Amino acid sequence: MAAKEELYAKVTPRRQRQNRPNTIKHGSTLDVLLSMGFPKTRALKALVSTGGKNVQAACDWLFSHVDDPFLDDPLPREYVLYLRPSGPLLQQLTHFWKQSRLSCGKNKAHNIFPHITLCQFFMCTDAKVEALSDALQTTMAKWKGRIPMPLPLELYVSSTFIGLFVEEQMAEVLKSFAADFATEAASKAGSSPLFPFVLLLLWITGVYMLFFFILNPDVHVEPHKKQLHVTLAYHFQASSLPALEKLAKNVDVSAGCDWLAVLFSRDIRFANHETLQVMYPYMPQNDDELELLQGDFIFMSPMEQSTASEGWVFGSSLSTGLSGLLPENYVNRADESDTWVVHGSFSFLNCASPSNSSSTVGGLFFDGQQNDSLLDSLPSLSKMRLFVCRHGERMDVVFGKHWVTQCFDSKGKGRYIRSNLNMPTSLPARSGGHRDFDKDCPITVFGATQARLVGEALLESHTTIDFVYCSPSLRCIQTTQHILQGLQQDGKTKIRVEPGLFEWTKWVSGTCLPSWIPPAELAAANLSVDTTYRPHIPISKLTVSESYDTYISRSFQVTREILTECKNLGNTVLFVAHASSLEACTRQIQGLNPQNSKDFVQVVRKIPYLGFCSCEEMGETGVWQLVDPPILPLTHGPNHSFNWREMLMQD
């Protein structure tokens, strides 16, 4: 144990980044990080800790962990292979999770999402994760079409456990798949037949963590040998059994589903810690306290709480790796799996990754140039995807509803003059006059910047947009234009203006709809609009103050018709519309019933500018599911107007 403490107390001096040219050569994500001057061990750790998303995510991780005392320690991560449901079955299980938690409180099953365990937790060095991902991809290709869907599941209820068990014959098939993955992982990452005995010896002697990879750095995967099942509830109070059983019986196990084989990892240091999430930011008042960032996760071990006084806990931050004391009322309990990282996710319907992001296609370190042929051959890319994005920051929200009066010369010819750097330098001409901007405002300069950032992120993720549909609102059309510019598809992909994508008309003030700029005038203003497009729902079909049911039906109708129109002509469709569109255009195509209007409004209020979601068709089932977007989220904050004369000049 003394040797273990000595290793953990050691902090290797951090190397300084070297000055490099401002150009990035083609190559793997790892090569890019190395060219930036990061040591290989740190670069690998950053990539593995972020799921190999992209260079930016790895850099952000490295900079936030610059003072992490474990940054240079050769600690492995723990990995596990799960089957995860998707589609209607996942929606039902998610509903069960929510209702059981509300009616009976949290039980042990809530710590991890619904899943079937295929392989037990095992360890792998950062340098071998790419081989591990390759092993899963190779195994999936080998098993293509050999596992029928949906899996036969049977409900089992006891006094302490409720679950869905896989029918025995099919369970044996899945175990064979897991065994093949274990063999493939051993072949690609290396494994010794004595490895399990070495692990047992090290665990008994108490130096398991320290010498694990010094004595044997190979990967040993142990397939799950017990009955395969989805756990619904366990470790619950006896009084909760009737309510839980009733909810479990409402789960339709025959519902459409695609099962995904997903490789997860977690930080080995915190495997047995309780997971907390930061609700409020906190700045340390003393040297032994931990700075808290809202949304961060904290790992807390009961063994470490002896140094904490009442109302305080001792924990370690996921985002920085630092440890310290923190106020207990600033955090809430979270689920263990909230901090896990995905390293590969493959569909059993077509045995391909459901995403073409760098973390799941072609292994962890995806090289777009070297894997073009692989991308072309992957059947996952034939699946249709729908992106729905909210417009950028709007002028009337930032500068108030009277901005038109302040910026246009009413005495002259309505000449536009901006009064703030965040106002665009020019605006498109309107045949109805500048007062039409009152109900149909443009985006700000920052709104345009937000949109280009999203486009650039899509470009970096190797995403190509085949069709673009847009609300007739000027703010949406301008946002779309800047997204296409960031994607380098400006002029190549025409914007189809679709009135059916306009927001709930109940939110429009006054007795009439906005006077939108016609497509021909938009094209004359150098906006890449398709003037030949005939809308599915023309403006004449929109009514003022429509009911909630009418809006939801309209959104579902136009979404369904557009997806049908684009099928077999392109893979990826982008909607740029309103905050409400992210919910209204995706919910019913997943086979879900609409929310009530009150819950709908609560969801919409939380969607920021350039809020972005991704929905994907499950093979040829006609059912869609929400999936992780190929880009990172965009977070921004307010910047209040600054008047130097008022603030700095003293009387």
Annotated binding site for substrate: 475
**Which position among 220, 266, 385, 578 bears the catalytic label?**
578
Q: In the annotation, is 390 catalytic?
A: yes
Q: Say how many C-beta atoms besides its own lie within 10 A of residue 397's C-beta.
A: 14
Decide: 587 and 595 in contact? Cβ < 8 Å.
yes
Task: List residues bridging with 317 in a β-sheet.
Answer: 298
297-300 β-sheet, strand order: 323-327, 312-317, 297-300, 274-278, 331-333
> What end-to-end distance do the CA atoms of the chain give, in Å?
68
Amino acid residing at 455: G
Label residue 590 exposed, middle or buried (CB < 10 Å: 0-12, 13-18, 19+). Answer: middle
Specify binding-site residues.
Answer: 475
> Order of strands, edge to edge, in the sheet holding 572-577?
495-497, 467-470, 572-577, 385-390, 612-617, 624-627
| Residues 541-553: b if buried by 16+ CB within 10 A, e if exposed | ebeeebebeebbe
Give the 3-state secondary structure percentages of the chain, helix then strand then coil, rounded to 5. 40, 15, 45
Is the CA virtual torsion 512, 513, 519, 523 positive or negative? positive
Please tell me the distance from the alpha carbon of residue 327 to that of residue 244, in angstroms, as a whole number. Answer: 34
Residue 402 among the catalytic residues: no
CB burial of residue 161 (10 Å; 0-12, 13-18, 19+): middle
Tell me how far apart the alpha carbons of residues 632 and 461 are, in angstroms, rounded to a whole number.
10
- In this structure, the strands spanning 572-577 and 467-470 are parallel
Q: How far apart are CA 72 and CA 38, in angstroms?
A: 12
DSSP string, 198-246: HHHHHHHHT-HHHHHHHH-------B--S--EEEEEES--GGGHHHHHH
The pairs formed by 145-151 with CB atoms below 8 angstroms and a separation of 24 or more are: 145/351, 146/173, 147/173, 147/174, 147/177, 147/259, 147/348, 149/257, 149/258, 149/259, 149/348, 149/349, 150/89, 150/253, 150/254, 150/255, 150/256, 150/257, 151/257, 151/259
Tell me how long the chain is. Answer: 651
Amino acid at 252: D
Q: Sign of the CA dihedral 336, 135, 26, 613?
A: negative
Candidate list 77, 229, 391, 434, residue with the active-site label: 391
Q: What are phi and psi of 261, to 5 degrees?
A: -85, 115
Separation of alpha carbons 649 and 640, rounded Å: 18
| Rounded CA separation 440/515 (Å) | 7
Of the candidates 272, 270, 296, the residue with the CA atom closest to the CA atom of residue 282: 296
Residue 593 gets which letter from DSSP? P
Distance CA 405, CA 520 (A): 27
C-beta separation of 615 from 590 below 8 A: yes
Active site residue 115: no
Report CA 235 to chain centroid distance, whole Å: 30
Active-site residue among 110, 224, 390, 430?
390
Residues classed as catalytic: 390-391, 578
